[in-house]
Amino acid sequence: MRIALLLALAALFVAFPLAFPWLAFVFTLVISKGFAALGVAVLLRAGLISIGHALFYSLGAYTVAYLSRGAGVTDLILQLAGAVAVSSLVGLIIGLFMVRYRGIFFAMLNLAVSMVFFTLLSKLYALTGGTDGVRIGTPTLFGTTIERDTLESILLYGGLVLAFGVGYLVHRYLKSPMGEALPAVETNEIRLEYLGIAVPRVLLAAYVASAGLAGLGGAMYGLLVGHVSPELAYWTISGQLVLVAVLGGIGGVVGPFVGAFFLEIIRSFAVIYFDNIWNLIIGAGLLIVIFFLPRGLYGLIERATQRGPRR
Amino acid sequence: MDIIIPLLVDGLAAASLIFFIAVGLTLVFSVLRVLNVAHGSFYSIGAYVAVSIGGWAASAGLSPWLSFPILLISAALVAALLGPFIEATFIRYTYGKPEALQILVTFALFLIFEDLQKLVFGVQAHYQDAAMQVLGVSEIGGIIYLNYQLLLIALAVVVVVSLRLLMRHTRLGKLILAVVADPEVSVTLGINARQVYSIAFTIGVFLAALGGALATPTSGVAPGLGAEAIVLGFAVAAIGGLGQIEGAALAAVIVGLSRVIAIYYAPAFEPVMPYLVMLVVLLVRPYGLFGTAQARRI
Amino acid sequence: MWKLAATLAVGLGVIAGPAAAQDRPERIGMGIFTFTSGPAAAYGMPGRNAAELIIEQINEAGGIGGVPIAPTYVDEAQGGEGVVSEFRRLAGDQSIGVMVAALSSGNCMALAPIADQLEVPMVTWNCDTHQLFLGEEHPYVFRPNSSTVPEFISYAAYLAQKSPDATRIAIINPDYAFGHDAAQIFTGAMKAFNPDVEVVAELFPKLGTASFNTEISRIAAARPDVIFSNLWGADLENFVRQAQARGLFRSSQVVLALGESVLQRVELPEGVIVGVLGDGWWMSPDAQANERTKEFVSAYRERFGEYPVFPAMKMANTILAVQAAYEKAIEASDGWPGRADLREAFAGLELETLTGTVTVREDHDGLVDQLVGVTVASDEHDFPVIGEMVRYPADQVTPPVGEDPMAWIGTLTPDFAASLPKPGSYE
Amino acid sequence: MTAPLLSVRDVHVSFGGVRAADGVDVEVRQGEVLAIIGPNGSGKTTFINLCTGYVKPHAGSIHLEGRDITRNTPRQITKLGIARAFQIPQLFTEHRVIDNLMLAVAARQGFWQVLAPLDQPAHRQRATALLEMVGLQDQAESDVATLPEGIRKLTDIALALALEPRLLLLDEPTAGVSSGEKFPLMDRLMNVLRSQGVTAVFVEHDMDLVRRYADRVIVWNQGKVVADGPPDEVMNDPAVLRDVVGVI
């Protein structure tokens, strides 16, 4: 049943851009945000709210920009891999400090680091292009140049395949002892220590994974938009990633993607029909989800498509 | 050497503005244990209301000296209208819930307020500088300062002192401290904790709105003010230690001075200073300058 | 779920009604990008207002080749990805013939490659960064406006002519490419005109700064002869209010590159050097001699309660340029011109605008005269206007095609400034 | 006589002026079942916290088989073979009972697996066996958050057993367990301990339990050990009866 639901969602995902080409852009954005929100969701499972993951999201995009302009690495696959590697590495370094913090202090420290990063991006004009940002050129694939249109198809359909692949891996991770330990950190960290489990190590793994996921999403974003500016690292983007994760539901891997989908669709329509109040719509939607749908929108979809209780 | 005096005056002037952003946030946290992202909205709403009423007063030909009571009244109005209402409709349901949830609820409120402000006040910048104009200027260390800047420094000190007096020497303060110390026990002692929460939240809204209102005579108000304010407020509150009012005051001075020193000697680093200070402080003292850890009993 | 999908499909169907390329369409779709919210709206809204008005006037006069313009406005404040996705959505709609984008240089730089990719003509109305055409060619992007180079050289020239002894300059510009580029160009030109010039303070507060009080102290402490700023919007208003109250305008000659845009909103003292980044001053002699301009100005004033500041004039002039290009393309092609035909028409386009003339060069950059002056009290209005005006001819202050602008500035000499028309010569 | 498994020497610790341990010396011998009794607030739980590194002594030392563990963390001490059950059950309330147990089993059998599921046959088998030991086989699929106190208590003990410790510290193991269940539970527990050669220390209020199951009793009062010996001897000591048992 759940597989069927997933396939239906995927089919929807493929069908619409074929009918309406501009939606391809929006849908690719959904995948990109979905990856980043999935990263945030991994940490949320441990009760850790990061108002700073825009750091890794923008880092992914800036890494791609730097690889293609500064280092001459033009291959798409290498760029994506590079972005994941760089953001994971930075995640590891920052994570070493982060794993000592919980609750609001974790949120605050993430905020601080990301805002330092944000201001550096805007300020190091010579290095980052300042607030105007940098352009990201069309990459090559296996040594052949590709057209912009081809790139967009690759990003959408390749991204979808990647989302399934990465999603499956993250699913396995969340079901593994290390993954199942995450909610346990929130409910009873002391007991975990008394089971001989090194909580900081559990969290460091999660932090690195979440940074890598956000970096992957950011790299896709950069390639898709073709331009990246510091606003991508601003705290409101971090807030949006948390919002997307919670909106979709943090219980599983699909939730963040569903959340990203709803956010982008609402946004696309809001700018056409309800100019000026899309924040209001998103905010109200978030409140409804928090107060009435604790398992997020994906929980709602699941409930509508299957009978019988499930944990 | 002659630069020291302007540095100090500018630093304190900057600190007073920053302090007004953070003080309500930290007060609300100390009582309700809720980190209120919507605090930034109350700040900018206070600014909008003050400018609107001030603009009306100016067009009605009232004396510019009335601007000062208007700033206060505006903040009180915002607090009275929004404080108890928002507390009772949303904030109350997040007490004792995970922090992530509290932050999200208030973040949602922040998003909603952002657009409501746009709908009500438009997107143009608004100004009402009668209070700044009427006070004139003073020359200190060869540099001309607005007397209004100096007034803000004094006001910040007044707020710190009065909050301390309120907490230590009034019945309300004692009730608040009792609820902070142990909500359950205070309820069994017959304290109406709900009411205390509502009052504390409203005081927080008042302080936020007051901060916004006090900033308008020099800076006006435009969309985006709330987002800037809240993130700076977080930084200052976290540096001082969440829930520590004196801590917030000290943190505001540190952040204000660091920004001013940056502007004088390394302007490129000015915007990064609050967050750099926050980062360093949190790494060295995870609970902020005045904050303490709470051990869990097992 | 499927209900949602159906709703989506219906919603999208409305937007994407395809039109045969060569038939005369029922309307000319035009995407117009500007800031209608956020701190930049103070500057972006006049642009939007002007677009609304000028399009209405064009449509009342029969539209373009008998076809009315149907604008779609996009708010740039939604951030890079939102702007790009809107651009793509509009480009996918075949009834859209042209994009007027954008206000912010960052957005222009992001959109330009996409316009080329989607082969939709993009006409910039306010992003004047000289970097737009610097490294890359953009076959589909045109700027019927001037760039930062002539704009800021003109201020240096005016200053060199008016206060030749001023050597200590302080700069306070917004912290992004526009501010940094302007500082570089202005400083470069100032030093070329007078080698004794030194920069005693250079500040780049970030966009959306509310209190400039520490910056003002810092500038005051540096005792500059000249304070140059290209702050704009709410930032400029804040800076002016705070700096004026604190005596900065009395102790130094202030140059506000975008000062005209706040003349009606904040009380500027007399003697401040201001300009309009081009020739778009609604009260300029050329504008006042043009019946159409006077009509536009009074209609604007009536509807929006203020006179059209220069961003409004820039937008109106840009849309007139689009109209001229369409008319040229209609003449040149058999049927209704498609996007590629319109692109052809833009090359070498010349037209009369509301405030002067514009020529689109072969490098797609525009040639526009530069108007600079100082604030003077007005008998007619309760706000200061621009006096002691000069109108620098575009070809004299614009680097030639193909030349690196910064290198070109380096070749300027004190004689260059002396050879230009004098302040007060434009009456 | 063999060397003690755990030896606590001259340990001092106080909280805000209250002395929870004031020069305490305790030795836990290999294989024995040691009971600690004393009035509420006398520092019995603190003793367990000290032995497991949750509370650090201001002075004194703690050795496990001659190895100094005074400054070690709870995790390190757990790894050395000391497990603990809590007075207030410390469980993972967002998980089911079986998941709680499987986490503990995984912690023992190899935790650092990223892609292998927690719910694998080896883990589940062992977890089920542990639940049977405490009589909770029927509760495996229940959500922990909804369980009554007694069952949570048993789950908590099962978590400690899952670690296969050499020394097990139990903080009031039968508090909250219904009176009819107390003895069957303790019988099962003792069987496990004896069959696996586990040394145990338990803090208890129920004197009947202490008499029946303890090999040795320590009486704790105001941060000091005031009596030490076999149950029948200690518990008939008039001073103990007056000062401690009487007020329990």
Highest mean pLDDT of the ranges A116-130, B280-294, C368-382, D106-120? C368-382
**Please, is D242 exposed, middle or buried when counting C-beta atoms within 10 Å of its C-beta (0-12, 13-18, 19+)?**
exposed
DSSP D170-191: EESTTTTS-HHHHHHHHHHHHH
Give the Cα separation of D95 and D158 in Å (integer).
15
Phi, psi of B145 (to 5 degrees): -115, 155
pLDDT band at D168 (very low <50, low <70, confident <90, very high): very high
Least confident of B182-186, B196-200, C100-104, C238-242: B182-186
**Which residues of D make CB contacts under 8 Å with A?**
52, 54, 73-75, 78-79, 83-84, 86, 90-96, 99, 102-104, 106-108, 111-119, 143, 159, 162-163
pLDDT at A275: 66
Q: For chain B, give every domain's residue range.
A: 4-284
**Closest chain A residue to B37 measured between Cα atoms?**
A239
CB–CB of A111/A52 below 8 Å? yes
Q: What proportion of chain C, given as a percentage, has pLDDT over 90?
A: 59
Cross-chain Cβ contact A198/D103 below 8 Å: no
Q: Does A43 touch chain B (CB under 8 A)?
A: no
Contacts of C242 (CB under 8 A, 6+ apart): B146, B218, B219, C211, C212, C213, C216
Question: Is residue C18 predicted with pLDDT exceeding 90?
Answer: no
Cα distances (Å, whole numbers) of residue B156 to B8, B24, B74, C52: 15, 12, 18, 47
CB–CB of A146/A138 below 8 Å? yes
Q: Burial code of A117-144, b = ≥16 C-beta within 10 A, e = fewer?
A: bbbbbbbebeebbbbbbbbbebbbbeee
| Mean pLDDT of the A147-173 span | 90
| Mean pLDDT of the C105-109 span | 84
pLDDT at A310: 36
| Mean pLDDT of the D202-211 span | 87
Give the Cα separation of A266 and A285 in Å (integer).
10
Give the Cα separation of C52 and A173 in Å (integer).
55
Closest CA to C322 of C297, C344, C342, C341: C342
| B181 vs D132, residue with greater confidence | D132
Q: Does B144 touch chain D (CB under 8 A)?
A: no
| CA distance, residue D94 to nearest chain B CA (Å) | 13
Measured between CB atoms, which of C11, C78, C80 is closest to A225? C80
CB–CB of D114/A178 below 8 Å? yes
Same domain, C196 and C156: yes
DSSP B55-114: HHHHHTT--GGGHHHHHHHHHHHHHHHHHHHHHHHTGGGGTTS-HHHHHHHHHHHHHHHH
Cross-chain Cβ contact A22/C105 below 8 Å: no
**Number of Cβ pairs < 8 A linking chain A and chain D:** 97
Phi, psi of D55 (to 5 degrees): -115, 135
Measured between CB atoms, which of C39, C211, C237 is closest to B224? C39
Question: CA-CA-CA-CA torsion for C405, C410, C411, C416, nearest 10 degrees?
Answer: 90
Measured between CB atoms, which of B218, B219, B271 is closest to C206? B271
Closest CA to A290 of A253, A241, A239, A245: A245
CA neighbours within 13 Å on the CB side: how many for B194?
6
Number of domains in chain A: 1
Q: Does A191 touch chain D (CB under 8 A)?
A: yes
B-interface mutation test, from A44, A45, A290, A292, most B Cβ less than 10 A away: A290
Question: Is residue C22 predicted with pLDDT exceeding 70?
Answer: no
Same domain, C399 and C317: no
Q: What are the pLDDT digits (tens) for A46-76? A: 989 998 999 999 999 999 999 988 788 888 8
**C392-397 contacts, C-beta under 8 A, 24 or more apart:** C392/C150, C392/C154, C392/C157, C392/C420, C392/C421, C393/C369, C393/C421, C394/C146, C394/C150, C394/C359, C394/C367, C394/C368, C394/C369, C394/C370, C395/C367, C396/C420, C397/C150, C397/C153, C397/C154, C397/C157, C397/C370
Same domain, C267 and C392: yes
pLDDT band at D81 (very low <50, low <70, confident <90, very high): very high
Measured between CB atoms, which of A123, A133, A267 is closest to C106? A133
Cross-chain Cβ contact B227/A236 below 8 Å: yes
Q: Does B298 touch chain D (CB under 8 A)?
A: yes
Which residue bears the tokens 């009176």?
D179
Asked whether the bond before A184 is cis by omega within 30 degrees of 0, the reply is: no
Going B163 to B169 to B173 to B178, the CA torsion angle's sign is positive
| CA distance, residue C231 to nearest chain B CA (Å) | 15
Instruction: Give Rg (Cα) of chain B.
Output: 19
pLDDT at A185: 92
Measured between CB atoms, which of A123, A132, A227 is closest to C177? A132
Q: Which two tokens stand for residue B197?
A: 């929460």
| D73 vs A133, residue with greater confidence | D73
Q: What proportion of chain D, given as a percentage, has pLDDT over 70?
A: 97
Measured between CB atoms, which of B132, B137, B224 is closest to C247? B137
| Mean pLDDT of the D43-60 span | 89
| Mean pLDDT of the D39-68 span | 88
pLDDT at B294: 67
Same domain, C63 and C140: yes
Q: What are the pLDDT digits (tens) for B21-43? A: 899 999 999 888 888 999 999 99
**How many CB atoms are located within 10 Å of the residue C184 CB?**
16
Give the Cα separation of B136 and B286 in Å (integer).
43
Phi, psi of D10 (to 5 degrees): 50, 50
CATH class belonging to B4-284: mainly alpha
Question: CA-CA-CA-CA torsion for B135, B137, B140, B144, nearest 10 degrees?
Answer: 150
| A174 vs A304, residue with greater confidence | A174
Q: Does D54 touch chain B (CB under 8 A)?
A: yes
| Mean pLDDT of the C111-125 span | 91
Measured between CB atoms, which of D78, D96, D117 is closest to A195? D78
B-interface mutation test, from C218, C223, C235, C240, most B Cβ less than 10 A away: C218
Q: For chain D, give every domain's residue range.
A: 1-71+201-248
Give the Cα separation of A173 and C290 in Å (integer).
72
Give the Cα separation of A173 and A170 in Å (integer).
5
Residues of chain D in contact with residue B298, where contact means CB-CB under 8 angstroms, are 45, 49, 54, 86-88, 90
The three-state secondary structure class of D205 is coil
Cross-chain Cβ contact A178/D93 below 8 Å: no
The three-state secondary structure class of D229 is strand
Phi, psi of C376 (to 5 degrees): -135, 155
Least confident of A64-73, C20-29, C225-234: C20-29
pLDDT at C5: 45
Cα distances (Å, whole numbers) of residue D111 to A205, B261, D128, D165: 13, 51, 18, 17
Domain assignment present for C236 = yes
Measured between CB atoms, which of C36, C86, C175 is closest to A130? C175
CB–CB of C275/C249 below 8 Å? no
Which residue range forms the structural domain that includes residue A217?
A: 20-233
Cross-chain Cβ contact B279/A109 below 8 Å: yes
pLDDT at A304: 59
Residues of chain B with pLDDT under 50: 1
| CA distance, residue C19 to nearest chain B CA (Å) | 36
Going D135 to D139 to D145 to D146, the CA torsion angle's sign is negative
**Closest chain A residue to D99 measured between Cα atoms?**
A180
**Number of Cβ pairs < 8 A linking chain A and chain B:** 121
Question: Is residue A296 predicted with pLDDT exceeding 80?
Answer: no
Give the Cα separation of D165 and D150 in Å (integer).
23
Cross-chain Cβ contact B238/A48 below 8 Å: no
Predicted complex ipTM: 0.83
Measured between CB atoms, which of B6, B13, B127 is closest to C241? B127
| Mean pLDDT of the D12-26 span | 84
Give the Cα separation of C313 and C297 in Å (integer).
9
The three-state secondary structure class of C100 is strand
Cα distances (Å, whole numbers) of residue A46 to A97, A108, A251: 16, 16, 11
**B108-111 contacts, C-beta under 8 A, 24 or more apart:** B108/A243, B108/A282, B108/A283, B108/A284, B108/A286, B108/A287, B108/A290, B109/A283, B109/A287, B109/B37, B109/B38, B109/B41, B110/A283, B110/B37, B110/B38, B110/B40, B110/B41, B110/B226, B110/B230, B111/A279, B111/A280, B111/A282, B111/A283, B111/A286
Residues of chain C in contact with residue A69, where contact means CB-CB under 8 angstroms, are none
Which residue range forms the structural domain that includes residue C388?
A: 149-277+370-419
Q: Which two tokens stand for residue C177?
A: 């490419």
Give the Cα separation of C319 and C16 in Å (integer).
24
Question: Is residue C1 predicted with pLDDT exceeding 50?
Answer: no
Helix or strand (DSSP H, E) at C41: helix C41-60
Domain assignment present for C426 = no
**Closest chain D residue to A199 measured between Cα atoms?**
D75
pLDDT band at D208 (very low <50, low <70, confident <90, very high): confident
Closest CA to C324 of C72, C65, C136, C84: C65
**Closest chain D residue to B297 measured between Cα atoms?**
D88
pLDDT band at A309 (very low <50, low <70, confident <90, very high): very low
Cross-chain Cβ contact D115/A176 below 8 Å: yes
CB–CB of A208/A91 below 8 Å? yes
Q: Which two tokens stand for residue B137?
A: 């200027």
Write the DSSP symbol of residue D245.
G
pLDDT at A229: 85
CB–CB of C78/C101 below 8 Å? no
Q: What are the pLDDT digits (tens) for A191-242? A: 999 999 999 999 999 999 999 999 999 999 999 888 888 889 988 899 889 9
Question: Is residue D67 predicted with pLDDT exceeding 70?
Answer: yes
Q: What are the pLDDT digits (tens) for A89-137? A: 999 999 999 998 988 889 889 999 999 999 888 877 777 777 778 888 8
Cross-chain Cβ contact A125/C180 below 8 Å: yes
The three-state secondary structure class of A61 is helix
pLDDT at B202: 95
Q: Which two tokens stand for residue B194?
A: 């709900």
Cα distances (Å, whole numbers) of residue C167 to C160, C217, D41, D245: 10, 20, 80, 94
pLDDT at C12: 42
Domain D1-71+201-248 bears CATH identifier 3.50.50.60: no
Same domain, C166 and C185: yes
Residues of chain D in contact with residue A167, where contact means CB-CB under 8 angstroms, are none
CB–CB of C249/C243 below 8 Å? yes
Q: Touching D: which chains, 3+ CB pairs < 8 A?
A: A, B
* pLDDT mean across residues, chain C: 88
Residues of chain B in contact with residue C241, where contact means CB-CB under 8 angstroms, are 127, 129, 132, 218, 220
Same domain, C239 and C183: yes
pLDDT at C51: 96
Question: Is residue C4 predicted with pLDDT exceeding 60?
Answer: no
C near D: at least 3 beta-carbon pairs less than 8 Å apart: no
pLDDT at D23: 87
Question: Is residue C95 predicted with pLDDT exceeding 90?
Answer: no
The three-state secondary structure class of D5 is coil
| Mean pLDDT of the D168-182 span | 86
CB–CB of A299/A249 below 8 Å? yes
**Closest chain D residue to A209 measured between Cα atoms?**
D114
Give the Cα separation of C232 and C235 in Å (integer).
6
Partners of C273 in beta bridges:
C255, C374
Q: Burial code of C105-134, b = ≥16 C-beta within 10 A, e = fewer?
A: bbbbbbbbbbbbbbebbbbbbbbbbbbbbe
Same domain, C414 and C356: no
State CA C423 to chain mean position distance: 23
Instruction: Give Rg (Cα) of chain C.
Output: 22
Question: Is residue C129 predicted with pLDDT exceeding 80?
Answer: yes
**How many CB atoms are located within 10 Å of the residue D171 CB?**
22
Strand segments (E) across chain A: 134-135, 140-141, 144-145, 227-228
pLDDT band at D246 (very low <50, low <70, confident <90, very high): low
